[in-house]
Structure 1
Amino acid sequence: MKNKKFWKSFFALFIFGLVGIIFLIPSLFPLVEEQLKSMQNPPDIPLPLLVGLSLINPLILLAVAVLVGLSTAPKTGLVSYLHLWINKQWKGTNVESFKKAIPAGIFSGIAVAAILFVLELIFQPYLPESLQTTAESRSLGMTISGIAYGGITEELLLRWGMMSLLVWGFWKLFQRSRTTPSAAIFWISIVISSLLFALGHLGATALLAPLTTVVLVRMFLLNGIAGLVFGWLYWRKGLEISMISHAFVHITTTVLVSVWFLF
């Protein structure tokens, strides 16, 4: 029975993350085209097939992250409400905890977006044209992709998978005698997973602009701040609350950019 619940949780979380990957596909076409242009001898393969092949790595990483999270998160006290629901624990205090935490996810996402928007404006004069913020840089398609892939898939990869593994690993290495990991373990894991979250944007950044010091500082600072907030929310409020926050960062950023260029 335990095995059956494990695999039910795996497929539920994997399909949830798969939704994000599907919404990422439209944004991959211009990225793959850009990569082909930079090659001296590009492969003679249809663009849709190349885009399909580029999805193999994210799918494998998602499967691994879901498995790792299921194996480590429950042992450390980290929570996914979807996982609880699958295991028939969606009742009483768990339901109330989720409902009470939703505003924290929404307002933290709005606050993070506002902070990142101000920092982006500060960086703008020092960035190449390809990284300049424009009204077109926050299209509806990009926003939806950010909500789905960023809000769901990236949270499964970096929080459910990576952060859970770090917390569990540091706990077993350095605090084996404790029944639960200390706050220090959680914070170290949040910081490391936030840096990895920022580093995960290196490929896309490199396609858009030369990796100068300013470009790298911007990439690590903006994504690192967001990662710290999402990590804290995962620890204190649950995985789905960090997903809500991540989604609202993209929603709010699009609104802010639209209003900024409107006036």
Structure 2
Amino acid sequence: MTQTPLPAPVSRHLPRALLTLLPLGLAAVLGLLPTLPAMLGPLTERTPGAPPMATLLAVTAAQLTMLVALSVAAGAWAAPRAGFRSRLVDRDWAALRADTRAALLPGLLTGAVIVALDRLTGPLLGDAWARAAAGQERTLAVTMGGMLYGGIGEELQMRWALVSVLTVGFWRVFQRHSVRPTRAVILTAVVMVAVLFGIGHLGAVAALVPLTPAIVARTVLLNAVGGVVYGLLFTRRSLESAMVAHALTHVAMTALTLLL
């Protein structure tokens, strides 16, 4: 039994996407490594018999690399079917420049909104949160890690892979007779992934402070705000537009935190 071949643009997408996006994902993992000891340290201190930090770093790096690779492959399959784009994969340099410009203001404003929400909700989260927050400085390493792993690695996972796969899945299940995914399907996928994006940050927060309903709500809300912005840029513009906005969010957060 022979398989029906994929349309030519889709069938060529996987190798080109792997060659283009996988190196970016590996760079994102490397950019996160300097911040991992500070993130994993409190967890190892509370865990009897925890492995050495070097072992944890190696295992974490391997897991993240595998996750990025799977995300690149999943997005390479789903994104062109959903009508989503990567300007780097398509080699569309003019559109890349336009999408980069379009991401500047949303990225910076998202950072400002997150800082404002953080300042508003912080006093409501208790003394344990205040002590943990006081020890979390927006250093250069933290900012670069956020720009690289957040701007590249998380966008490959959340938008390129998950938004694309969910969009195709919802389209095939609920609107199979439609020629392409509708705006409702796309927006549903964007919002769902944004919430998952927020939930995914709870592990890092739990390593610093015991989770309470207020802390969970705050963490999910602040990250979901960014997730919706990046998701809209991805689905309406391109993967690179979401990446640039996400990276600039971390720049704005650091700048405002230092200034205020």
Q: TM-score, normalised by structure 2?
A: 0.90
Residue type of the partner of 2:25?
G
Q: What per-residue deviation string (whole Å, max 9, x for no partner) do you get for residues 71-100 of structure 1?
A: 110011100111112xxxx2xxxx443322
Q: How many residues of Structure 1 are paired with residues of Structure 2 in the alignment?
A: 249
1:29 alignment partner in structure 2:
37
Contact preservation (8 Å) 2:194, 2:224: yes
Residue type of the partner of 1:245?
A
Identical columns (%): 31
Distance 1:249 1:22, change over 3 A: same
Residue type of the partner of 2:118?
E
Contact preservation (8 Å) 2:88, 2:96: no
Contact preservation (8 Å) 1:23, 1:148: yes
**2:62 maps to 1:56:** yes
Secondary structure of the structure 2 residue equivalent to 1:208? coil
2:22 alignment partner in structure 1:
14
Residue type of the partner of 1:79?
R
Residue type of the partner of 1:108?
P
1:250 alignment partner in structure 2:
250
1:111 alignment partner in structure 2:
109
**2:126 maps to 1:125:** no
Secondary structure of the structure 1 residue equivalent to 2:90? helix
Secondary structure of the structure 2 residue equivalent to 1:249? helix
Residue type of the partner of 1:181?
P
Q: What per-residue deviation string (whole Å, max 9, x for no partner) do you get for residues 87-133 of structure 1?
A: xxx2xxxx443322322211001111111111111112123224435
C-alpha separation in 2, matches of 1:252 and 1:213 = 27
2:99 alignment partner in structure 1:
101
Q: 1:151-190 to 2 correspondence within 5 Å?
A: 151-190=151-190
Secondary structure of the structure 2 residue equivalent to 1:21? helix
Q: Of residues 71, 77, 83 in structure 2, which corresponds to 1:71?
A: 77
2:195 alignment partner in structure 1:
195
Distance 1:215 1:103, change over 3 A: same
C-alpha separation in 1, matches of 2:48 and 2:55 = 20
Secondary structure of the structure 1 residue equivalent to 2:137? helix
C-alpha separation in 1, matches of 2:202 and 2:57 = 19
C-alpha separation in 1, matches of 2:208 and 2:132 = 7
Residue type of the partner of 1:74?
P
Structure 1 residue 33 displacement after superposition: 2.4
2:48 alignment partner in structure 1:
40
**2:196 maps to 1:228:** no
Q: What per-residue deviation string (whole Å, max 9, x for no partner) do you get for residues 184-242 of structure 1?
A: 00000001110111111011010011111111111011001110000000011100000
C-alpha separation in 1, matches of 2:132 and 2:250 = 17
C-alpha separation in 2, matches of 1:172 and 1:6 = 21
Residue type of the partner of 1:239?
L
C-alpha separation in 1, matches of 2:117 and 2:205 = 17
C-alpha separation in 2, matches of 1:112 and 1:5 = 31
- Where in structure 2 are there 5+ consecutive unaligned residues? 1-7
Secondary structure of the structure 2 residue equivalent to 1:79? coil
The root-mean-square deviation of aligned C-alpha atoms, in Å, is 1.7
Contact preservation (8 Å) 1:124, 1:133: no
Contact preservation (8 Å) 1:98, 1:237: no
2:5 alignment partner in structure 1:
none
